[in-house]
Amino acid sequence: MKINTTNIKFTSIKTKSSILKNSNPITISIPTDKADKVSTLNGVTPNLIHSLDSANIHILIQSILNYKNNTGNKINLYTINDCFASTPNTMHEIEHLVRKSFADIYFGNKTYIYVMHENFVNQIKSFTNVFVDEKQQEYVLIDDKQRIILLYL
């Protein structure tokens, strides 16, 4: 899956009503054709964290379905972002399954994080030239300033 995120720069125009003489001026933001690089870069980490929270919910739901299939017991789940609720009689199971879901993402072999990293590296490799330095580390050139990012595989 290829993900693109770009924030657009806006230009502001102040205007005042010609009909209402005593009104305050208002500011209108108009989009430009330019990308807001700072805003886009500042959004990368929060978007990544949000996607990890979302992945946790997906893994949790699969765990709840497996739990129901194995035990025959139904678990109600209510969630808003990374907050979870259930009926009192199943909160112990929810707590256990939430912890297990987080462990599945962050620990062990072929975890969600590891697979996501592999996918990012493969996407980068598909769009640019990859070089190898004297230590056999792969890297890509980002811009004309020869800025280098090493991709540790």
pLDDT tens-digit series, residues 18-73: 787 788 888 999 999 998 888 888 888 888 888 888 888 988 999 899 888 788 88
Task: Please identify which residue in the block is written with the tokens 């990890």.
Answer: 52
Tens-place pLDDT, residues 90-126 = 899 999 999 988 888 888 667 777 888 888 888 888 8
**Residue 152 or residue 37, greater confidence:** 37
